Structure 1
C-alpha cells in the first residue's frame, strides 16, 4: 500500500514566486488581443491589465471587467459545469474551454466535501484560470470552511467516492512522474475514465472494501495535510478577496477581521496550509480566519434571516456590515456558506449578496444560479430551459 500511495517524499506544488505584497500584472494575453502597451482589446475597446496585490491574492484591480461569482460546489462537477456555463465562462461542448474572454470569475469556496469530484473541480478551475489569463481574464478562488476542515484532517463530510478520487489521483500523479502541474491540470480530463474504471473494479474490491477505504483515507491525508500537495494548492487562494469595489469571502467579513488585517489573515492561512512551522515546530491554525462561529469562513451573520442564535437585531447587523465595508472601501460583499432556498439574493440595501444556492446533489440539488457584476450593476442570473432569466438587478453607480 505504501508504495502505491507514494507516501515518501511526495513533491509539493510550487509556491508563489514571491511572498511580497507588491502588485503584479496578469498580462499573459494572446497576441491577437494585445496592443503595444500591454492592454487587451475586444472590438477595439482597450482594457487595462488586471493587477493583483498580495500573496495569496488579496486586492485585485480589474478595470472594466465583467465579474461573475459562483457559490459552493461541494464536489458536484456536473452542477459546477452548469453554473459556469450560466456564467458564460465555460463551453457547453464538453471540452472545458474558457469562453469568458476578459471576464473575472470568482468561486466562493466549499469545493470540497459532500460530493465525489472535488479534485476534478479544482483541476477544472485551474485549467480555466490558465486559459482566462491568455485572454486578459482571470479565475480566483477563496477558501471556505470545508477547505480548512480538510487541511485540519476533519474528514467527517467526505463521500466514499471522494476517498476513491484521492487514491486514483495519487496513482495518476505517480504515472505522470510527479509532474504536479501536468497531473493537476490534466486530471479534470482524465477523472471520468478513472471513475469508470473504479466502477468496473467494484467486484474485485467486494470483500476488501475496508482496505479500500483505509487506502482512500491515507491518500486524502497525504494530499491535504499541511504541506501536502493539495493543501499547497489551496494555499494559493485567500480567505478574503477584494476585486475592484467588492469583497468576496465564504462566510462573512467583520470589523475585527479588518482590524486584524486582511492580507495578514490570508498570509497566515496560506502559511499554515503550506506547512510552514511556528517557532515550536508546529503549524499554527489561524483561529480568527478558520475557527469559531464568527471566523471568516464560518460566519453566518449576514446570511441567516433567523437571528435567534445571534440575539442581535437586523439594524445592528446592517450597522456592522456598513462599518466593515467602509473599513475596506467597498460597495458590497459577496458570500456563500449558507444555502439560500430562495436562490441568490441581497439584503441590507443590497450591500450583501448571498450566492450559495445549495446546487450540489449532496446539499439541496437546486438549480444553479450565479451573480454577475457588470457596469456597476449586480444581478442574479439562472438558466431556465436554455434561456437566461434575470432575477434581480441593482445599480451601484
Structure 2
C-alpha cells in the first residue's frame, strides 16, 4: 500500500525549470505526417499531408493542414461514455483494445474530465495513450483544461465521486508498484484500472469506521496527485485553456475580448506554471485569475452557451457582437466550447460562430447519448452515431462582420447572463 503522507511521499518533480520569465518564447514542434489509407476525408491530393506544427508550451496555436478535426465535450469520469464518443468520432477501435483508428485526424477534448464520475484517471490515461498512437500516424490528441480541472488543482473536491477518491488511492498504490515511474504507470493505468477496481470492490468492507478511513485515504491521495506540483496536476499542466487549431478556437467556457487582449499564450503559461507549482521567485505561484476564476473567466464563462430563450433581440445581437469581436481579434472563423450541457445535443448559434459540444453524456450529469463535432473540408457536422449524421454546415461562411460596442460595455454586459452554479 502506498504511503499517504503529503510531506514524505517522493514523487518526480514537474519537468519545468524552477525559474521562469515574464514572457516565454513559443515552442514549435512538428508531428510526423505519415501516409495512411481511408482514415481522413480531408487528405489533400498528391500524397501525405503536411506536418502538424505546434506553437507554444502548452500548445496554443496549431497548424494542422488538411486534417479532419473531431471535438468531444465534457466526460466527467465516465469511461464507458468516453469510449462511445471516441468510437463514433472514428478515432477509437471498438474491439476493447483502445487502439487509435483516426489516422491523421486531430482530436480535441474540451475539458471537464474530472468530477462526477469514478474513472477520471483512466480517461486521462486513455487520451494519453491515443495521443502517442496518433502522433505515430500523423494525427494528434489535444485537451483543454476546464473549470473542474482547475477546481481540483485548487483543492476544491466538492464534486468528486466517492469512486474517484478510491481510484486515486488505487492509482497511488499502482504508481508505487511502478517505482514512481510516472510515464509507465500513467500509460499502463487504462489497461489495468478495471482489474484494480474489481479487486477493490470484491474486498470492500462495509464496516462504517473503515469506510471513513478509506475515504480519508482517498482524499489524501487525491491531494498528493492534484496539488500544484503534484504528478497529475503536472500532467494537466501540459494542456492549454485556449487552443487555436487552424481557423477554429477551442476552450471550455468561452473567450472574451478582454481575454484576447490579455494574451491567450500568456494565460496558458500562467495556468501551466500554477499547476506545476512554479513561480518567478520560488514563492507560492500566482493564481491565474483571468483564465480560471470568476464568472467571466475562460473556464467559467457561459455567455455563449446559455439557453437563448427569453433573451431580447438586442441582447442576442450584443452577445453576437462580443463573439465576433473575439473571433476577429484572433483571426478565427468559429469557437467551440463545452461547460454547459446542451439538452438538444451539439448545436451552433450566432450564425454558427459558436459550437456548443457538452451534451452531458456522463452518467453523473445527464447520461445522454454521446455526440461529437466533426470539422472536415471546411464543413462541420454533428455525429450522433455511426449511422446518424445531421446539421452539415459550411464552416467557411461562419464569420460575418458586425458593429462592435465598447469593450468595457460588453464585458459588463456579460455579467447579466452568467450562471454562478458549479456545473
Name the TM-score, length of structure 2 as normaliser: 0.87
Give me the CA root mean square deviation.
2.4
Gaps of 5+ in 2: 38-42, 397-423
Gaps of 5+ in 1: 35-40
TM-superposed deviation, 1:283: 1.6
Could you say which residue in structure 2 is the equivalent of 1:25?
Answer: 30
Could you say which residue in structure 1 is the equivalent of 2:3?
Answer: 3
Could you say which residue in structure 2 is the equivalent of 1:149?
Answer: 151
SS at match of 2:324: helix
Could you tell me whether the CA contact under 8 Å between 2:2 and 2:176 is conserved in 1?
no
TM-superposed deviation, 1:281: 1.0
Tell me the distance in 2 between the aligned counterparts of 1:356 and 1:230: 24
- Asked if 1:65 is matched to 2:64, the reply is no
| Among candidates 349, 352, 375, match of residue 350 of structure 1 | 352
| Among candidates 294, 297, 300, match of residue 295 of structure 1 | 297
Name the TM-score, length of structure 1 as normaliser: 0.92
Tell me the distance in 1 between the aligned counterparts of 2:114 and 2:313: 31
Could you say which residue in structure 1 is the equivalent of 2:275?
Answer: 273
TM-superposed deviation, 1:305: 2.1
Could you say which residue in structure 2 is the equivalent of 1:235?
Answer: 237
- Tell me the number of residue pairs that the alignment of Structure 1 and Structure 2 aligns: 386
Q: Deviations over 1:109-140 (max 9, x none)?
A: 00000000000000000000000000000000
TM-superposed deviation, 1:282: 1.1
For 1:133-282, what aligned pairs fall within 5 Å after superposition?
Answer: 133-203=135-205, 207-279=209-281, 281-282=283-284
Tell me the distance in 2 between the aligned counterparts of 1:293 and 1:301: 9
- Asked if 1:391 is matched to 2:423, the reply is no
TM-superposed deviation, 1:294: 0.3
SS at match of 1:167: helix
Tell me the distance in 1 between the aligned counterparts of 2:77 and 2:312: 30
Q: 1:284/1:24 Cα in 2 relative to 1: closer, same or farther (>3 Å)? A: same
SS at match of 1:208: helix
Could you tell me whether the CA contact under 8 Å between 1:85 and 1:92 is conserved in 2?
yes
Could you tell me whether the CA contact under 8 Å between 2:153 and 2:228 is conserved in 1?
yes
Q: Deviations over 1:330-365 (max 9, x none)?
A: 000000000000000000000000000000000000
Q: Deviations over 1:267-309 (max 9, x none)?
A: 0000000000354711211101000000000000000125879
Q: 1:147/1:311 Cα in 2 relative to 1: closer, same or farther (>3 Å)? A: farther
| Among candidates 96, 121, 124, match of residue 123 of structure 2 | 121
Tell me the distance in 1 between the aligned counterparts of 2:195 and 2:208: 20
Tell me the distance in 2 between the aligned counterparts of 1:249 and 1:367: 22
SS at match of 2:300: coil
